[in-house]
């Protein structure tokens, strides 16, 4: 391939760089929207995990409460039966002793009933807490749905623009297919996605890193050679008129 028949590389590189900057900007917008959605998804998931653990705790308390309620009721029934049977004891002393024992047991049951009431109050508080958590999660889910709807449309639009820009880019890049200049440019673009090609400022320095350029470099740039800034490695071009 002779130099005369090959298309000039620099204008194509400049064109590619303009497209690449647009592609990078749109891709960053898309990534940000997707990241925001993902963050919100994680926030909701963490609320749901907390709620599930609270619900488990509540369930355990309810089971404990039901068991204790049953057991206290059985004890209470037993005591009532024993109290009813007191009259059948014909020995006064035995009767007295049995009555004292019954009173003592009844007192203990009373203490268990107090604890049970405390447990019931605790369950009530936990139920309110879980209900609040559900409210918060529902609110977050509503917000998420609305945002997801908006973002999905925006992301779809960005994807369409990106597809068309990438198609346009591929057409320009195909003109330099297999050439080292394209490989070199792609590397520079990966390092400097927002400005892989920079202008020469004041006809003597790189506007990317402000390094003073030698006269030889300026001559090469003026000749439309593909020249890298010796300071930062970006491709140099003359300032647009
Ligand atoms: Zn530079």
Domain that holds residue 237: 195-241
Asked if 160 and 123 sit in the same domain, the reply is yes
Instruction: Give me ligand 1 centre to Cα 228, in Å.
Output: 8
What pLDDT is attached to residue 1? 38
In a domain, 4, yes or no: no
In a domain, 200, yes or no: yes
Instruction: Give me ligand 1 centre to Cα 208, in Å.
Output: 5
Asked if 103 and 148 sit in the same domain, the reply is yes
Instruction: Give me ligand 1 centre to Cα 231, in Å.
Output: 5
Asked if 161 and 203 sit in the same domain, the reply is no
Instruction: Give me ligand 1 centre to Cα 183, in Å.
Output: 19
Mean pLDDT of the chain: 94
Rounded to 10 deg, the angle between the 180-191 and 9-85 helix axes is: 40
Closest CA to 30 of 127, 162, 131, 194: 162
Asked if 159 and 239 sit in the same domain, the reply is no
Instruction: Give me ligand 1 centre to Cα 88, in Å.
Output: 110
Instruction: Give me ligand 1 centre to Cα 31, in Å.
Output: 28
Distance CA 67, CA 63 (A): 6
Instruction: Give me ligand 1 centre to Cα 236, in Å.
Output: 8
For 19-24, what is the mean pLDDT?
97
Rounded to 10 deg, the angle between the 92-174 and 9-85 helix axes is: 170
Distance CA 232, CA 125 (A): 64
> Per-residue pLDDT tens for 47-78?
999 999 999 999 999 999 999 999 999 999 99
Q: What is the total count of domains within the chain?
A: 2
**First-to-last CA distance in the chain?**
32
Instruction: Give me ligand 1 centre to Cα 198, in Å.
Output: 8
If pLDDT is split at 50, 70 and 90, which confidence band does 2 have? very low
Closest CA to 21 of 146, 135, 162, 226: 162
Instruction: Give me ligand 1 centre to Cα 87, in Å.
Output: 108
What pLDDT is attached to residue 94? 87
> Per-residue pLDDT tens for 98-134?
999 999 999 999 999 999 999 999 999 999 999 999 9
Asked if 31 and 144 sit in the same domain, the reply is yes
Instruction: Give me ligand 1 centre to Cα 241, in Å.
Output: 20
For 212-222, what is the mean pLDDT?
95
DSSP conformation class of 97: H
Distances (CA, A) of 68 to 74, 108, 190: 10, 13, 68
In a domain, 23, yes or no: yes
If pLDDT is split at 50, 70 and 90, which confidence band does 6 have? low
Instruction: Give me ligand 1 centre to Cα 178, in Å.
Output: 26
Strand 235-237 with 197-201, pairing: parallel
Instruction: Give me ligand 1 centre to Cα 205, in Å.
Output: 8
Give the CATH number of the domain where residue 155 resides.
1.10.287.1490
Phi-psi region of 59 (alpha: psi -120 to 50; beta: other; left: phi over 0): alpha
* Residue 54 contacts residue 126 (beta carbons within 8 Å): yes
Instruction: Give me ligand 1 centre to Cα 218, in Å.
Output: 13
E strand residue ranges, the chain: 197-201, 205-206, 235-237
DSSP conformation class of 88: G
What pLDDT is attached to residue 241? 63
Using a 10 angstrom Cβ sphere, with 0-12 exposed, 13-18 middle and 19 or more buried, the burial of residue 53 is exposed
Residue 5 predicted with pLDDT over 80 = no
């Amino acid at each position: 391939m002779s130099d005369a028949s090959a298309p000039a590389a620099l204008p194509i590189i400049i064109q590619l760089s303009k497209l690449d900057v647009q592609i990078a900007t749109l891709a960053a917008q898309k990534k940000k929207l997707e990241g925001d959605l993902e963050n919100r998804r994680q926030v909701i998931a963490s609320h749901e995990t907390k709620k599930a653990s609270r619900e488990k705790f509540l369930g355990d308390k309810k089971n404990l409460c039901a068991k204790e309620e049953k057991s206290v009721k059985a004890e209470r029934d037993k005591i009532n039966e024993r109290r009813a049977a007191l009259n059948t004891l014909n020995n006064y002393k035995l009767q007295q002793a049995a009555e004292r024992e019954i009173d003592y047991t009844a007192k203990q049951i009373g203490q268990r009933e107090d604890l049970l009431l405390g447990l019931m109050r605790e369950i009530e508080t936990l139920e309110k807490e879980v209900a609040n958590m559900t409210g918060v999660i529902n609110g977050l889910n509503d917000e998420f749905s609305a945002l997801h709807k908006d973002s999905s449309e925006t992301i779809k639009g960005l994807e369409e623009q990106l597809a068309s820009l990438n198609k346009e880019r591929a057409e320009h890049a195909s003109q330099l297919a297999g050439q080292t200049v394209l490989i070199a440019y792609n590397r520079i673009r990966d390092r400097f996605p927002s400005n892989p090609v920079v202008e020469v400022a004041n006809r003597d320095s790189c506007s990317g890193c402000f390094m003073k350029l030698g006269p030889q470099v300026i001559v090469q740039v003026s000749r439309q050679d593909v020249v890298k800034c010796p300071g930062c490695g970006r491709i140099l071009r003359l300032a647009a008129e």
